[in-house]
Structure 1
Amino acid sequence: MSHTPVESTREPRVADEQHGTTLKKGSLGVPAIIFFVVATAAPLAAVLGAGPVVFTFAGAGGPAMYVIAAIVLLLFAIGFAAMSRHVTSAGGFAAFAAKGLGRYAGYIFAGVAVISYAGMLIGLFGQLAVFTADLFSSVLGWDVPWQVVAFAGVVLVGAFGYLDVQLSASVLGVFMILEVLILVVFDIAVFASGGQSGVNLEAFTPANVFTPQMGAGLLFAFSCFVGFEATVIYGEEAKRPRRTIPRATYGSILIIGVIYTATMWALGLAYGSGNVQHAATSDPVNFVFAANTKYVGEWSTTIMHILVVTSLVAVLLAFHNTLARYLFSLGRAGFLPRSLGHTHRRFQSPSTASIVLTIVTAVVLGVFVLAQADPFQTIYLWLVGVGTLGVLLLQAAGAASVVGFFARHPNKRASRWASFIAPALGGLGLIAALVLAVVNFPLLTGVTEGPATLLPVLMLAAAAVGLLIGAVRSRGGKEVDLSTGIITLEDAALEESGSD
């Protein structure tokens, strides 16, 4: 391979560093990226929130819904990992779409990505506010308004997003280990005791898995994996990205899948296959807590209440970092104001994007507060519902981008299985999940009537606005290339050989 094209691709990157437009290279290894991704999934909060809903619809076959979701995402990940060896950028799926489906597709999914992750981020602040205010009230006897908690959370998360990414990775690592550990303790206690009627595989039998309402259960299982695609966003900051990103992607899906499946299986055993659906339906709020108290003890349930809050802080930190990097990448490419594409001189973090994101988050929350919106029923359910729908759309687009990329670049090395068959199968599964999300949107948001039922239209609006911005910025004489900052296979190989 000639060294001439390699040198030509590296020169602008050096220049970018001098002008503070590149992220801190080589700062994140596989464990750190997995911390970000698993924290985004928020295993404890997801089990407490989505677990009883999955059992309500899927019945005793609830654990199998997570197995199906994990298999579909692993199929997608095969192609995702293969493409990430050639393309990795803080622009995430927007950059993937631009390289695999063309620049206009990149513009469309840039708009979808921003609105989706913003919805997830802002909505989760509503959930944090409710859980934290309740914790203060029940444990300390303090009556703290949820609004104070929400805005304090915005400032805290924004500060971490402004600083060195390694600090966020360290905090996330601690929080993630603690919340996973409390779930493992519960799982071991149930399996050791045999649960209600002994350890069995009834949750995975076809009769319990394939039921008329499995679609809704499968939708909520898919929603619990939201965030695994963020591995590629940290590619620019990864050590040896062409190795780190694929390993972190596979590792994240496997870890998340095993945690969910094992804990849901344990919950099914704790209540018994014949009783678990009724228990989940009759008291979803205390469904997990009651089982944990019975099999582990009240002390563990108290700790679980506390760790729910730290879990939410972790997921907020992960989403803030993800969206800040999206904004940074889009600013650097000229899609958004270029000032967003500047990094901190010392921390090499997307500091400008982080500050802007913090301000926008506070303003939007302020609007909801002035409208006297309920923090959980409105802010959390509405915005996270929209965000989940958007992320599923991004994942499906990612699968299509993989197929498109290898079709457009037949010289790139990848097997037929990795370049077409696996991502196509995974993409079909994700499209099915997307259809389920649209059809069952009232279940995601709790909205059954009124203007809020039109929230899915926001995805179409975001796509249209993204396409319009890209077209206008390009016609204005400004180059809008969403592949700006992409680390190619040649770049990564040269850097890695130099570090060996």
Structure 2
Amino acid sequence: MPCESSAHQLKPASLGVADIVFFVVAAAAPLGATLGAAPVVFAIGGAGAPGLYLIASIVLLLFAIGFAAMSRYVVSAGGVADLVSRGLGKKAGHMAAGVALLAYVCLLSGVYGQFAAFGADLVASIFSVEIDWRILAFAIAALVALFGYLNIDLSARVLGVLMVLEVLILLLFDIAVLMQSEFEKGFLQGFMPSQIVSPGMGVALMFAFACFVGFESTTLYGEEAKNPKRTVPRATYIAILMIGGFYTLTTWCIGLAYQTGDVQAAASDNYVNFIFAVNTEYVGAWSTFTMKILAVTSIFAVLLSFHNALCRYLFSLARERFLPVALSFVHPHQSSPYIASVVLSCSTALILLAFMLGNADPVDNLYLWMVALGTLSVLTLQTLGGFAVVAFFWRIEERKWWKHQILPSIGAVGLLLISILAYANFSELSGVERGIVTLLPWCIPAVALLGALNSRRVVAQHGAIGSPTS
């Protein structure tokens, strides 16, 4: 059985609701996602973009009802993979673990490219100094590695500050638009069925869902949470409500700001400056300059959040003997999964190096390809988690039909439909219509199969073991 000594235990009662919410909301990158995804949703889905974000929020809330309820029964650092294990069986859990590792490795690696490109542009615009994106990528990877090695309290504090700043700069825009617009005339602007239902609705909805990537990581911090059976469910609800409410409000205000023109055409013609343009008009150039700086710090927050989440996946799976047991050791002073963090840092550095040696573009290749595959993997993982919740409560006598079966089932089916849509439109996510990149989705069933094969090895050598805190 896995060792239950302090060497294999994360620091208990070290994270409160606010700390976990900071990690999750930071992973969603409110500012970065708004600047990057909102123009795409408007360009494809038109004026109904706010309604699409509202639909995504509702579907994920339905899923979260059962997800949060199940987290009261399963407290570990294994995240969704552990929930799948408890709901659909150990082999399914290990298949989900393979998908989860692929998801977060891809997302983490891809976002390094985004940070390097944005950071290089920011340095050039402020100091008129050209800096190679490769240097920035390795520099920020080293900083993230340092934070991952240290006590998680420090990461939580840093993420809290960065998240508050990026949310405030967008709320400032929202308030400015509401104060200067006759929004009474357009109160339902963006939420009318005639605006939401459009030829591009499906693909636009897929991009809206992609903005919520990371909310499922609340369960990863169960072992470090104060009173986890209450903290994790609360953090899950708060995170989804904050992310969904924020995206819906901000896209609604963007629509109001473009009320006198064709918002879909504006997003298509001026993708990069789509939000910067109206922010300068309603708030001022100083705010837009600040927003560009906070966009870079927002991406750093994403890196830090994904790194911490993936470290806990590695830690939990190592403790189950699914991965080498050395990854499950905790630092005696920092109480962090430091070996997992070091291995992860080295692994991502190798991925970055491979793209660099191939003269890849940091955005068009590293970011788009890796984040597209990571997003597809997370949607698959969330879908598995949704059905695992339904299966888990089906076997419990005290289940409540609406809370544990009906509403979670609707959420799971909704996630399944979005996942199918994402698979069918992978070229839209990756920006590539032909070539070997279009075969990347096959990596997901491949790692799931590897997880199943490894599950047989684990059971044969150690029996049907599980996380010691499950």
Q: TM-score range by the shorter chain?
A: over 0.9
Tell me whether 1:453 sits opposite 2:438 in the alignment: yes
CA distance in 2, matches of 1:271, 1:328: 48
2:450 to 465, 472, 488: 465
Matched, 1:485 2:468: yes
State the match for 1:153 in structure 2.
140
Contact kept, 8 Å, 1:66 with 1:221, in 2: the verdict is: yes
Letter in 1 for 2:377: G
- The match for 2:238 among 251, 258, 261 is 251
How many residue pairs were aligned?
A: 470
Alignment pair present for 1:202 and 2:189: yes
1:416 shift after superposition: 1.2
RMSD: 1.4
**What amino acid sits opposite 2:254 in the alignment?**
L
Equivalent residue letter for 2:26? A
Structure 1 counterpart of 2:5, from 17, 24, 42:
17
2:38 corresponds to 1:51: yes
The code of the aligned residue for 2:174 comes to D
For residues 468 and 278 of structure 2, the distance between their equivalents in structure 1, rounded to whole angstroms, comes to: 49
AA aligned to 1:135 is: L
Please state how far the C-alpha of 1:302 moved relative to its aligned partner.
0.3
Question: What's the CA shift for 1:196?
Answer: 9.1
Match of residue 344, structure 1, among 291, 314, 331: 331
CA apart distance, 1:468: 1.3
Runs of 4+ in 1 over 3 A off after TM superposition: 195-199
Paired residue type of 1:33: I
Does the residue aligned with 1:87 lie in a helix, a strand or coil? coil
CA distance in 1, matches of 2:18, 2:385: 23
CA displacement at 1:472 relative to structure 2: 2.2
Match of 1:9? Answer: none
Pair 1:282 & 2:269 matched: yes
Shift of 1:88: 2.2
User: d(CA) in 2 for partners of 1:415 and 1:162?
Assistant: 42
Match of 2:18 in 1: 31
Q: TM-score, normalised by structure 2?
A: 0.98
1:6-405 counterparts in 2 under 5 A? 16-18=4-6, 20-194=7-181, 199-272=186-259, 274-405=261-392
| Deviation at residue 202 of structure 1 after TM alignment | 2.2
The alignment partner of 1:204 has SS state of: coil
Aligned partners of 1:414, 1:472: CA distance in 2, in Å?
Answer: 34
Aligned amino acid, residue 447 of structure 1: V
Does structure 2 retain, via aligned residues, the 8 Å contact 1:54–1:221?
A: yes
Uncovered stretches (5+) of structure 1, i.e. residues with no partner = 1-11, 488-500
Residue number in structure 1 paired with 2:405: 420
How much does 1:485 deviate? 3.1
Which amino acid in 2 is paired with 1:223?
A
Cα offsets for 1:107-153 (capped at 9, x unmatched): 11110000011000000000000000000001111211000000011
Q: Distance in 2 between matches of 1:406 and 1:273?
A: 50
Paired with 1:198 and 1:298, the residues of 2 have a C-alpha distance of 28
- Structure-2 change in CA distance of 1:101 and 1:268 (3 Å): same
Q: Give the Å deviation of 1:465.
A: 1.1
Identity of aligned residues (%): 51
SS in 2 for 1:484: coil
Q: CA deviation at 1:415?
A: 1.3
Distance 1:274 1:448 in 2: 31
CA displacement at 1:381 relative to structure 2: 0.2
Equivalent residue letter for 1:486: T
The alpha carbon displacement at 1:274 in A equals 4.8
Maintained 8 Å contact 1:27/1:238? yes
Q: Give the distance between the partners of 2:69 and 2:183, measured in 1 at CA.
A: 44
Per-residue deviation, residues 297-318 of structure 1 (Å, max 9, x unmatched)? 0000000000001000001000
Q: Separation in 2 of the partners of 1:75 and 1:196?
A: 30
> Retained in 1: the 8 A contact 2:108–2:303?
yes
Cα offsets for 1:135-190 (capped at 9, x unmatched):
00011112110000000111111110111111000000000000000000000000
Deviations 1:29-59 (A, max 9, x none): 0001000000000000000000000001110
Q: Which amino acid aligns with 2:469?
A: I
Give the aligned residue type for 2:124. Answer: S
Cα deviation, residue 404, structure 1: 1.2
Q: How big is the shift at 1:199?
A: 4.3
2:148 maps to amino acid: G
Identify unmatched segments of 5+ residues in structure 2. Answer: none
The DSSP-based 3-state class of the residue aligned with 1:202 is coil
Distance 1:420 1:253 in 2: 20
Partner of 1:437: 422
Give the C-alpha shift of residue 486 in structure 1. 2.9
C-alpha displacement at 1:417, in angstroms?
1.3
- Check the 8 A contact 2:189/2:256 in 1, yes or no: no
Q: CA deviation at 1:211?
A: 1.4
Match for 1:424: what amino acid? S
Q: Give the aligned residue type for 2:446.
A: A
Is the contact made by 1:195 and 1:272 (CA closer than 8 Å) also made in structure 2? no
1:473, distance to aligned residue in structure 2 (A): 3.1
- Verify the 8 A CA contact 1:126 1:379 in the aligned structure 2: yes
TM-score by length of 1: 0.92
Following the alignment from structure 2 to structure 1, what is the Cα–Cα distance between the partners of residues 111 and 468? 30
